[in-house]
Structure 1
């Protein structure tokens, strides 16, 4: 399979310290790739190498099938990005900053600036100096600049920083629209798992500078196990009822009060009825499904062992 973005054994060492080690990323054309990791995991370091801000100590970056070099100017024109916090000419208006970016990129489409200002809800602030913008407005202006020249690939480092829940929802919808309607590929880093879970097609998990795993959200959904968690006053008696009376065998006693039942063809109502009929006092009974957060925490816990 060919990838729009691929890194090969990417390693960065500064002052004798390995910030990231042997990182391999594979991003398919037209997808949203969620790059997940706790703060300090190495996400920004990798993104700086992808966007040619930092040179790898070892390994290579391939963009659009070509190895990234110091002089890969034409390749980089096909990409938009925000790395860490976006910076602007603070005394200039938001619109003028975008106009300057178009000049710099050699992109001349007069309607594009108004279009992205509308997309990012910045029309009213377009002619105000950027120094008057809030953190969230600057973040939105940075995203406007990243998508302004209709790039094929957009690299966004923690793009929801400084945004309130409504702003985050707006960006989620925007990212999905850019992918589905414009065919733009996005790689988005975040430690906000719920944000990535709702939009990503594929995730890559990085921790302590090492890539843990790449996996599609579809695969996570298929392998996540739904279970019923049961809290009772007497686990031994409850286990007896589950095994002997209900003939269930796929369950596990978690501690002195909790049992997890992994049977797919039994309901909470059936379990409650049988336990109460046999004199087992139920404290609580709930159905659970593992989320991306559960998967992420398991992955990052493994590397710390």
Structure 2
């Protein structure tokens, strides 16, 4: 584990009898990142989060948190985690403040003022005597987040925090999470099955399907994959790359494993690129515009959403 990594999972897996919920999984999260764990319902997201937070024991593999590996070290490291995994249990007939005070005492968190502080952070200071059973879904999500923040965590693990919210609720939770990340420097792992909602939050992504992490990438790489780009197949790709740098100031490109060249910031200028290549006697096998939208990219990786 490097100093910049707060979590490293190595071949982490979970089986229930003959049923494998999570196949051997390798994953790392860098300090300060917001990692979006994206997959369909039932893909294994919650299973992975439970292993990380200690709510479930792995069948095999190794987990490092804040450089701690051994069971005792992990227990101490998990004290630096705030988590919402599945629906938090709150007392229906208690207010927001009463519910949090109960958990503060139960968990041995010092200082009564912490309840007022976290209620303020999540925008629930004015709920007064309103009971939890009368809360809207958005208010319930906020109270769950307040509970996760009570121990002043360095790392938040959130299971579908925007699930079921209306558009305004989604915006409010998103802005709150971004504020916590930017101002309090809290690293986050957030599961979600809607990629379009994660794109405004995540700095990195891990795509999971049928209990397997099938792809990881940064937000920048995702953007490059989804936005229109020019794909060139040429001879002498390194020479062509240098040539393009000379003719197109600020060009943003990459050479792919198949040796094709992807140009990301020259949409609609395929003719100009072609002219440069022809003028310099470059043999061009293919020049085309590619790209997709976020939803199509998600579907291409994990398939359509299904019930269950």
TM-score range, shorter-chain basis?
0.7 to 0.9
State the aligned residue count.
Answer: 251
What TM-score does the superposition give when structure 2 sets the normalisation length?
0.74
* Cα pair distance change 1:220/1:52, threshold 3 Å: same
Give SS of 1:59's match: strand
| Residue equivalent to 1:168 | 170
Q: What is the root-mean-square deviation of aligned Cα atoms in Å?
A: 2.6
Give SS of 2:71's match: coil
Give SS of 2:152's match: coil
Give the gaps of 5 or more residues in structure 1. 229-261, 269-286
* Cα pair distance change 1:21/1:129, threshold 3 Å: same
Contact 2:228 2:267 in 1 (8 A): no
* Cα pair distance change 1:146/1:294, threshold 3 Å: same
* Cα pair distance change 1:68/1:33, threshold 3 Å: farther
* Cα pair distance change 1:12/1:126, threshold 3 Å: farther
Give SS of 2:221's match: helix
User: How far apart, in 1, do the equivalents of 2:268 and 2:85 lie?
Assistant: 49
| Residue equivalent to 2:132 | 130
Counterpart selection for 1:293 from 267, 292, 295: 295
Q: CA deviation at 1:107?
A: 2.7
Spell out structure 1 runs of 4+ moving beyond 6 A: none
Q: Deviations over 1:53-72 (max 9, x none)?
A: 11001112211111262784
Q: Deviations over 1:72-101 (max 9, x none)?
A: 432221111011111112232211221222
Q: Deviations over 1:9-47 (max 9, x none)?
A: 111110210111011121111110100000110000111
| Residue equivalent to 2:274 | none
Give the gaps of 5 or more residues in structure 2. 231-263, 271-288
Give SS of 1:24's match: strand
1:200 matched to 2:168? The reply is no
Q: Deviations over 1:140-197 (max 9, x none)?
A: 1101111122100010000112321111101111111111100101100001211111
| Residue equivalent to 1:190 | 192
Contact 2:34 2:190 in 1 (8 A): yes
User: How far apart, in 2, do the equivalents of 1:70 and 1:190 lie?
Assistant: 30
